[in-house]
Amino acid sequence: MNHEEAKARVAQLTEKLERWTYEYYVLDNPSVSDAEFDRHMNELILLEQQYPDLRSKNSPTQRVGGQVLDSFKKIPHKRLMLSLGNAYNEDDMRDFDRKIREILHKDVVDYMGEVKIDGLGMSLVYDQGELQYCVTRGDGVMGEDVTSNVITIPSIPLHVKEKRPFEVRGEVYMPKASLEKLNRAREEAGEPLFANARNAAAGSIRQLDSAVARSRGLDAYWYYLVNARELGQTIHSNSLDFLDGLGFRTNPERRRLHGIEEALAYIEEYTEKREKLGYDIDGLVFKVDDLSEYEKIGYTAKTPKWAIAYKFPPMEVSTKLIDIVLTVGRTGRITPNAVLEPVRVQGSLVQRATLNNEDFIKDKGLMIGDTVILRKAADVIPEVVRPVISMRDGTQTPFHMSENCPECGQPLTRVQGLHYCLNEECPSRKIEAMIHFSSRDAMDIDGMGSAVVEELFAEGFIHDIPDLYHIHEHVAEIKALDGWSDKSISSLCEAIEKSKEKSLERLLFGLGIKEVGLKTAKILARRYRQLDDFLSLDADELQKIDDIGPIVAKSIVAYFQDEKNREMIERLRQNGVNFAYLGTDTVDVNNFFYGKTVVLTGTLTRYSRDEMTNILEGIGAKCSGSVSKKTDVVIAGPGAGSKLEKAQQLGILVIDEEEALAHLSTLRQ
Ligand code: IVH
């Protein structure tokens, strides 16, 4: 066969294999036998080996998996990948409907009802009829390029007849049957089980070896055509039919609903049906069907207002409370935890639940050995609701709070109903502090999870946070430990090195200052911009900041006045850890407002002034209260007075709310 003939044959085989894959995996209606399929696939593999230039990126042979990556590339989303607001009951749903009817001046609105699959949000980008790449949701602004894994899902089209560029979003998920099979195999191999389908799907998509991802039996449904209007679509439900026609797997449970009453009936129907589906759903999604109304209805900072996720109520099950054990947190707080007989609740395997504190256990009257009622919603931590008194048989024993730390044995101190181990040398506290410092939202040191911290602590290589930056001095010793390789230790060292460049808010959060969560850390970092500024702060000054109350302020000041903490900060400085606010980590630097100083004046209608300030600061603008030469843009609403005048005198760009929203909407769809 010459090159020309081979080329024609490759095209023919590709077309056939794609068509058969579609028939089998999307239509569930195969027209050829497996043997026939394999014969064609093998022929294509051989031809591509013979003529490597004929192997395209989107060849069906590439679905087989086998590409092994070092890491995933980060890709910015072309349009923000938003999440959805939640509704928990009929009232919330009626509110949602009422607001939309008010905006649209309509008595009845048509919605699309869809199931909300509990998986992993994913975006596929196509151009010229070819899949370009697949990207995870990430933080909504940036995702990870997981193409090599996603294309192993056979139902995903690699080629489509639509040649114009488009982006389609949906959910990659693990069907119940795949999860059961996977967990059975893991159990036999003595490996830890996946708690639920979502974790299992996420874990599979994050596999660097695409052959492993392929073996996990994932599938996907597609529910949103991002640039539908550009492609001439005016109605969301029609755009799903359009996707269907292009070969995408769309969910058959979807339904067009005329008005809120039909939406509520759909909820009732699926509250029953959900158990019978082959995949876990944690709710239903309702979207206004008329795409031309979306801009008018608008967006909040993170969610569209034209859609809502209805979440199913939490489910209750009973199980046995085997024991109550104490854990020590990074602040020394002691938490009692329920050890439960493993039980499945709403798709998750639960075997532990926090019991908060001694009074919680007393108030509920829990005894060790009790049968207890457990409640869990898909995105909520499991909660022990009450004991079943009628199930007591005399073997139950009361719980007594220990007087000593379970880790270091020091006497505990009780403060406002909570127990603390105040021993700063308590190993548990030190370990928890390092785990927290390394965690994803803090310094994001990949590979420095709880097991590694515990191991390196036990081996004596690390004692406190600054020691993390000396791990490279122990490479040879660590390599000698079980389960470590050149590669794992060098990627850990790399991750540690990378963490030195993180922005201030992550460091502030990572230090584990009492009362300072991620949100407060962000506010503080944006306000002060340098860790050194915190060393001389007083509580009065801090309290002037919105959102910072007296308790938080006191805790921050106490932390930075503590000599031991100041020493630790000095050691971090010596190790080259960045102390400055960089403020660019998740922001699209191409947005109109990025780096600009903005002043808001007059009345805003879509957002309150606080909301608008938050949105603008969130995308890298600085908001200021007064107009000066440094001001770049003034957003003026009706009733604007002296600030507007001053801006005009200084020749500063003035825009109205609508224009501001237009700049924001280029960020989202
Ligand atoms: S629409 C702007 N539809 O739920 C469009 N999302 O809680 C936003 N999800 O991030 C998404 N099923 O990952 C939509 N039928 C469905 C969905 C769905 C599951 C996920 C999605 C989203 C999350 C929001």
Tens of pLDDT, residue by residue over 263-295, are 999 999 999 999 899 999 999 999 999 999 998
Amino acid making up residue 335: T
Contact in structure between 131 and 151 (CB atoms under 8 Å): yes
User: Could you tell me if the CB of 122 is within 6 A of ligand 1?
Assistant: no
Looking at the predicted structure, is the pLDDT value of residue 628 above 80? yes
Q: Residue 290 carries which DSSP code?
A: B
Q: What is the mean pLDDT of residues 191-214?
A: 88
Looking at the predicted structure, is the pLDDT value of residue 545 above 90? no
User: Could you tell me if the CB of 171 is within 6 A of ligand 1?
Assistant: yes
Mapped to the 3 state alphabet, what secondary structure does 489-535 carry? HHHHHHHHHHHCCCCHHHHHHHCCCCCCCHHHHHHHHHHHCEHHHHH
Residues in the chain: 669
- Distances in whole angstroms, Cα of residue 61 to Cα of each of 39, 40, 43, 142: 12, 10, 10, 29
Q: What's the pLDDT tens digit per position in 637-648? A: 888 889 999 999
Stretch among 52-66, 317-331, 466-480 having the lowest mean pLDDT: 52-66
Looking at the predicted structure, is the pLDDT value of residue 607 above 80? no
Contact in structure between 161 and 246 (CB atoms under 8 Å): yes
309 CA closest ligand 1 atom index:
7
User: Could you tell me if the CB of 82 is within 6 A of ligand 1?
Assistant: yes
- In Å, the largest CA–CA distance within the chain is 85
- Distances in whole angstroms, Cα of residue 622 to Cα of each of 51, 600, 642: 56, 11, 20
Could you tell me the distance, in angstroms and rounded to a whole number, from the CA of residue 524 to the centre of ligand 1?
32
Q: Among 16, 73, 99, 116, which one carries the catalytic annotation?
A: 116
What pLDDT score was predicted for residue 127? 96
Quote the strand ranges of 329-452, DSSP E: 334-345, 348-354, 371-376, 383-387, 413-415, 418-420
What pLDDT score was predicted for residue 359? 95
Cα–Cα nearest to 38, from 53, 55, 21: 21
Could you tell me the distance, in angstroms and rounded to a whole number, from the CA of residue 83 to the centre of ligand 1?
6
What pLDDT score was predicted for residue 388? 94
Residue to probe by mutation, ligand 1, list 83, 86, 169, most atoms within 8 Å of CB: 83
User: Could you tell me if the CB of 309 is within 6 A of ligand 1?
Assistant: yes
What pLDDT score was predicted for residue 587? 61
Active site residue 116: yes
Determine the Cα angle at 324 with ends 323 and 328, to 5°.
140
* Enclosing H/E stretch for 296: helix 294-297
Q: What's the pLDDT tens digit per position in 433-461? A: 999 999 999 999 999 999 999 999 999 99
**Protein residue whose Cα sits closest to atom 22 of ligand 1:** 83
User: Could you tell me if the CB of 170 is within 6 A of ligand 1?
Assistant: no
* Enclosing H/E stretch for 240: helix 236-245
- Distances in whole angstroms, Cα of residue 53 to Cα of each of 1, 4, 362: 15, 12, 72
Higher pLDDT, 629 or 667: 629
Contact in structure between 408 and 416 (CB atoms under 8 Å): no
Residue to probe by mutation, ligand 1, list 115, 285, 300, most atoms within 8 Å of CB: 285
Q: What is the mean pLDDT of residues 483-499?
A: 94
Q: What's the pLDDT tens digit per position in 305-321? A: 999 999 998 888 999 99
**Protein residue whose Cα sits closest to atom 16 of ligand 1:** 116
CA dist 491 and 446 (Å) reads: 8
- Distances in whole angstroms, Cα of residue 143 to Cα of each of 94, 133, 147, 616: 34, 11, 12, 21
Could you tell me the distance, in angstroms and rounded to a whole number, from the CA of residue 95 to the centre of ligand 1?
20
Q: Which residue has the tokens 């460049």?
A: 501
Q: Which two tokens stand for residue 638?
A: 């009706």
User: Could you tell me if the CB of 225 is within 6 A of ligand 1?
Assistant: no
Q: What is the mean pLDDT of residues 326-345?
A: 93
User: Could you tell me if the CB of 220 is within 6 A of ligand 1?
Assistant: no
Q: Which two tokens stand for residue 20?
A: 């058969």
Confidence of residue 588 (pLDDT cuts 50, 70, 90): low
What pLDDT score was predicted for residue 379? 63
User: Could you tell me if the CB of 304 is within 6 A of ligand 1?
Assistant: yes
Could you tell me the distance, in angstroms and rounded to a whole number, from the CA of residue 298 to the centre of ligand 1?
17
